Amino acid sequence: MTTLAMAHDDRSATPEHGSVPFSAGTASPRTALPAGACDCHVHLYDSRFPADPAARLRPPDAGVDDLRALQRRIGTQRAQTPALLARLLVDANAAVITNT
């Protein structure tokens, strides 16, 4: 598994009870998560990196910015992404490392 460490960025924090793309919830968790909490399963999608032509699921783009918005709402700081394409992983890691 690959772990992406996410930098905390207060400049674009979402409201406490705000909508986040690809998440049905809107409220912050009732219980605060411990420092360094990890979301154990996330997917990132980017149309720049085409899916397998035989794939039945073809979700819209869901990138690092969407993941960071969800993390701000639920209080996680890291994510494990078991299904990232290598090219997307390299691109996502570059964005995380440079905090862009």
DSSP string covering 64-83: HHHHHHHHHHHT--EEE-TT
Q: For the whole model, what pTM was predicted?
A: 0.62
pLDDT tens per residue, range 13-49: 444 557 888 888 888 889 989 998 988 888 888 888 8
User: Among positive and negative, which fits the CA dihedral 75, 80, 85, 89?
Assistant: positive
Considering only residues 74 and 6, tell me which one the structure prediction assigns the higher pLDDT. Answer: 74
Give the Cα separation of 90 and 52 in Å (integer).
Answer: 18
* 4 pLDDT higher than 70: no
Q: Give the pLDDT mean for 69-73.
A: 90
Give the Cα separation of 33 and 49 in Å (integer).
Answer: 33
Q: In the structure encoding, which two tokens stand for residue 43, read together?
A: 């997917």
Angle ∠(59,51,60) on CA atoms, nearest 5: 20
